[in-house]
A and B are shown apart, each in its own frame.
Chain A
Amino acid sequence: MNTHRRLVNPRPRLARSLAALLLGMVAWLSLPGTTGIAVAQSQSQPAREAPTPAASLLPTQAERERFHALAEELRCLVCQNQTLADSDAALAADLRREVEELMLAGRSDDEIKAYLVQRYGDFVLYRPPLQRNTWLLWLGPFVLLLVGATVWWRVQRAHRAGLRPADAGAGASVPAASASGGPGTAAARGGARTPEPQPASDADLERARRLLD
């Protein structure tokens, strides 16, 4: 009979609506490029003039590893769903070279990131910083989790609290609905006496809806 309960209690519905709303807004606020909408390209990209400058400027393995870790954190501006490390675009190659040179100049990872953010904005960071326009992006999932947990907890509580006293009420209301008849009526009446609640069928849900209206 938990189906009845869920329909009677409007608050989980409210919470679910809120959750859906939040989800939409989080998607909206997420940075450009993550929307996944293909738009005709209005710009041109330079062709690769030279073959990939495969040789890294960095002399040691440790430096190359540091470079790779850093490049994995940076987004390619052209092919927006690739990292700077993965991208084969000419601009990405230029930016990799720029990052290598900055490393050789002794700049820290944070300084290099700041250098790129200054020019290209937070968009270059695969992990945008927590700030005014990104807090919903960062906290949204946790808010949704909280909403979900609240809904679950309320449903559970309503189910536990309502099982025994509500059975009497539900049983009493069944004959009223039997005017419209249907095979579900007997089953539902039986269900009220059965110790284990049966999963609600579509017919049950439909009947419950009719009862409520």
Chain B
Amino acid sequence: MKALRFILPAVVFAVIAWFLLAGLDRNPRDIPSPLIGKPAPDFSLPVTHDLARTWSPQALRGKVWLLNVWGSWCSACQVEHPVLNDLARSGEIPIVGLAWKDMPENSIAWLRRLGNPYSVVVSDVQGRVGIDYGVYGAPETFLIDGAGIIRYKHVGPVTPELLQQKLLPLARELAAS
């Protein structure tokens, strides 16, 4: 019983310290998406470079693709943009750009300046589709499989590490199955 008087507080301290320490690495802005494993919401939005046309995710049925939510007003998007450009050059996976709460002319000017990695860019000026996808900031990136199911969501800029260690392996796995 005497030993317990010392061991117990030490154990309690260790447990609490572990919780607090691990808590430091948790990003409170990472809100788990309820859409993982669910069908990607369908939409029909004007193509940014040709507003008379509309585009819908149905066009990519059977393919594994990335949906990248961005905006020309978004500074963090500039950070990830070279990574997306590199990925587009490799041609491994189609990237669809959702220009979220952005005017088409601004989106186009931005892409002309920084390069266009997108197979297609659609304009969600009102942010309605963004709400359907549970978007709460930009950039956000969704990995969608051939059956139209959202398999992964990344909040914040895509990094080369994330791409090589998570997104591309998962995309290959999904494409193979």
Contacts and interface: CB of A to CB of B under 8 A. Distances in A.
Interface string B42-75: 0000000000000000000000000000010111
A21 B12 contact: yes
Nearest to B139: A43
Contacts of B76: 42-44
Contacts of A14: 4, 8
A21 B138 CA distance: 38
Contacts of A35: 23, 26, 28
Interface size on B, as a range, is: 35 or more
A20 interface: yes
Nearest to B78: A44
Interface stretch (B31-39, B81-89, B112-120): B31-39
B25 to A, nearest CB: 9
A206 B136 CA distance: 56
Interface residues of A, number: 42
B137 interface: yes
Contacts of A17: 8-9, 11-12
27 contacts: A10-B4, A17-B12, A27-B19, A28-B19, A32-B26, A32-B30, A33-B28, A34-B28, A36-B28, A41-B29, A42-B27, A43-B137, A43-B138, A43-B139, A44-B76, A44-B138, A45-B137, A46-B100, A77-B137, A80-B28, A91-B137, A117-B34, A119-B132, A120-B31, A120-B34, A123-B32, A213-B2
8 tightest A-B CB contacts, nearest first: A43-B137, A42-B156, A77-B136, A44-B74, A119-B134, A24-B16, A121-B34, A46-B101
